[in-house]
Amino acid sequence: MKKADKIWLDGKLVDWDDARVHVLTHTIHYGVGVFEGIRAYRTADGRSAVFRLPEHLQRLFDSAHIILMEVPFPLERLHEACLETLRANRQPEGYLRPVAMYGYGSMGVGAINPVQVFIATWPWGAYLSDDGLKRGIRAKVSSFARLHVNVNMVRAKVSGQYVNSFLANREAVLAGYDEAILLDGEGYVAEGSGENIFMVKNGTIFTPSLASPVLAGITRDSVLRIAGDLGIPVVEQKFTRDTMYLADELFMTGTAAEVTPVREVDNRRIGAGQPGPITKKIQDVFFRAVHGEEQRYSEWLTYY
Ligand code: PPE
């Protein structure tokens, strides 16, 4: 990872190497923390903009609400802090990682310690490789199920939830695949370790609805809007693994993964085994939108 100059920690910008927390930070032990992943892009006119910053910060506060955490800064302050950090680091593009965590004080699962907040920013290229973005990735259905709604609450982007993602991703990568696809507790397709999933069949786009145990992805939401505006029919419903094998096209979405085509699942070629026309169209409009080249989506950008 390439170091930046500053990290915003509890209200001020500190040097990258000084952004430290105590080893008895509650969140390190129990995973009870919330976070976001946000991208900033250079826009076509030579400026820079953060993609859907208010929506990401709202989700951070929603995640905190779900886990009964009080974030000690108003949303507007964190909004400004994200922009301040990017400017201080002179980063025209990059990834932002705001985290709110229970700090140091008492120990024990139920201890309620002072909440600490930081925002780090760094350059991050294609999450599932440049080649994956262009030609599609190979995915594997995981032996790990996505968290059941009564086991954990995946509407919240909680640090501890990512043990499940980590196990699924490592299993897939160690088996020679690029990414894992997790099923829900009933066996229906849910999402990737860090991405939502979409399937195209006979010209219609399908994705699990938010009644499934999936993160309410902001890229997912952007893709639904783009598909609607392109006049492509979209159905939000769950589907099975074999239905997915028979898809014409498959792709994953996420802030880090952006819009990544999937060309193979469990050694079954998907469609023609290369990114299909609908995937390519959605990907193209998405990348134009983040780079400020789609006037109709200009409200998604916060320039800095
Ligand atoms: N599902 C999961 C489980 C998930 O972690 C992400 C984001 C998404 C769906 C897509 O959500 P959105 O980014 O709002 O479109 N995963 C973040 C973390 C990746 C990481 O490795 O760290 C991300 O993409 O930033």
Question: What's the pLDDT tens digit per position in 23-69?
Answer: 999 999 999 999 999 999 999 999 999 999 999 999 999 999 999 99
The count of structural domains within the chain is: 2
Choice from 60, 215, 222, 223 to test ligand 1 binding pocket (greatest atom count within 8 A of CB): 215
**Can you give the CATH number for the domain in which 228 is found?**
3.20.10.10
Catalytic residue, candidates 6, 140, 157, 238:
157
Same domain, 138 and 279: yes
Q: Is the pLDDT of residue 228 over 90?
A: yes
Residue 157 annotated as catalytic: yes
Q: Where are the alpha helices (DSSP H) in the chain?
A: 26-30, 53-66, 75-88, 130-135, 162-174, 218-229, 241-245, 277-290
Same domain, 134 and 207: yes
Taking residues 183-212, what's their average pLDDT?
A: 98
Residue 302 included in any domain: no
Residue 256 included in any domain: yes
**73-82 pLDDT, tens per residue?**
999 999 999 9
Relative to the CA of 59, which ligand 1 atom is closest? 14
CA of 241 to the centre of ligand 1 (A): 21
Same domain, 58 and 181: no
Boundaries of domain holding 31: 6-122
Name the band, by pLDDT with cuts 50, 70 and 90, for residue 2: confident
Same domain, 107 and 147: no
Residue 303 included in any domain: no
Among 98, 122, 146, identify where a domain stops.
122
Among 122, 144, 170, identify where a domain stops.
122
Same domain, 219 and 268: yes
**Structure confidence at residue 269 (pLDDT):** 98
Same domain, 27 and 97: yes
Q: What is the mean pLDDT of the chain?
A: 97
294 lines ligand 1 (CB under 6 A): no
Among 100, 122, 144, identify where a domain stops.
122
Tally of CA atoms within 13 A in the half-sphere of 248 that contains its CB: 12
SS3 47: coil
Same domain, 34 and 64: yes
Name the band, by pLDDT with cuts 50, 70 and 90, for residue 84: very high
User: How far is the CA of 49 from the CAs of 58, 130, 221, 227, 257, in angstroms?
Assistant: 18, 22, 19, 23, 18
Q: Is the pLDDT of residue 220 over 90?
A: yes
Same domain, 105 and 147: no
**Structure confidence at residue 163 (pLDDT):** 97
Q: Indicate the range of 33-37, 151-155, 185-189 predicted with least confidence.
A: 151-155
Same domain, 100 and 195: no
Q: Is the pLDDT of residue 266 over 90?
A: yes
Residue 250 included in any domain: yes
Which one-letter amino acid corresponds to residue 242? Answer: D
pTM for the full predicted model: 0.97
**Which is more confident, 126 or 2?**
126
Residue 299 included in any domain: no
161 lines ligand 1 (CB under 6 A): no
Same domain, 117 and 97: yes
What is the length of the chain?
Answer: 304
Same domain, 138 and 237: yes
Taking residues 119-133, what's their average pLDDT?
A: 95
**Structure confidence at residue 1 (pLDDT):** 80
Name the band, by pLDDT with cuts 50, 70 and 90, for residue 279: very high
Residue 40 · residue 94 · CB < 8 Å? yes
